[in-house]
């Protein structure tokens, strides 16, 4: 599985730690930046990560901004992207199990790096449950296609 990463200036430290953690655990990572501290517009980075998933170059994405919220709003404007802004363990797991989320959004000013790594771990190691949840996800896709 290849994982796309991106952040703005609110999430650089977290994104770099996540990149290192994933690679140490055998995952392939595509890092869409930023790479040094500079002020950027989070929708630009969200688009790079989401487009790599739309093209199936990457299968999951992780975006970090100050709150995780701006990234999730921008990411969810992309067809086929189900992004969740998460700051605790239960949601990190259930957004994969029930929503088949393909992008995890984290807040670098909300949670510490240690928590971020635990949430990433849960997110990437949990499989979609399917069943009745598939029907619900299909309905989200129907809304998207209207």
Exactly one of 67, 76, 91, 101 binds ligand RB5 (CB under 6 A); that residue is 67
Instruction: Provide the minimum distance between the beta carbon of 107 and ligand RB5 in the complex, in angstroms, as a whole number.
Output: 7
Q: Which of 69, 97, 113, 137: binder of ligand RB5 (CB under 6 A)?
A: 69
14 is catalytic: no
Residue 142, number of CB atoms within 10 A of its CB: 9
CA distance 32 to 81: 17
The residue ranges of DSSP E strands in the chain, in sequence order, are: 2-7, 28-31, 60-65, 83-85, 103-107
Nearer to ligand RB5, 113 or 137 (CB): 113
Number of residues located near ligand RB5, criterion CB under 6 A: 8
70 binds ligand RB5 (CB under 6 A): yes
134 CB neighbour count, 10 Å cutoff: 12
Three-state secondary-structure class, residue 2: strand
Query: Count of CB atoms within 10 A of residue 135's CB?
Result: 9
Q: Nearer to ligand RB5 by C-beta: 33 or 66? A: 66
Q: How far is the CB of 41 from ligand RB5 (least distance, A)?
A: 9
| Interface residues toward ligand RB5, by CB under 6 A | 8, 10, 42, 65-67, 69-70
């Amino acid at each position: 599985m290849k994982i796309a990463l991106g952040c703005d200036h609110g999430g650089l430290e977290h994104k770099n730690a996540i990149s290192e953690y994933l690679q140490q655990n055998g995952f392939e990572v595509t890092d869409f930046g930023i790479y040094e501290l500079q002020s950027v517009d989070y929708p630009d980075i969200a688009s790079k990560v989401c487009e790599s998933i739309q093209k199936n170059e990457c299968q999951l994405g992780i975006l970090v901004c100050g709150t995780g919220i701006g990234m999730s709003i921008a990411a969810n404007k992309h067809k086929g992207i189900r992004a969740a802004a998460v700051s605790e363990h239960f949601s990190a797991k259930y957004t994969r199990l029930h929503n088949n989320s393909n992008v995890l959004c984290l807040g670098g000013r909300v949670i510490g790096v240690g928590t971020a790594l635990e949430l990433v771990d849960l997110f990437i190691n949990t499989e979609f449950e399917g069943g009745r949840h598939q029907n619900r996800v299909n309905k989200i896709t129907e809304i998207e296609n209207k």
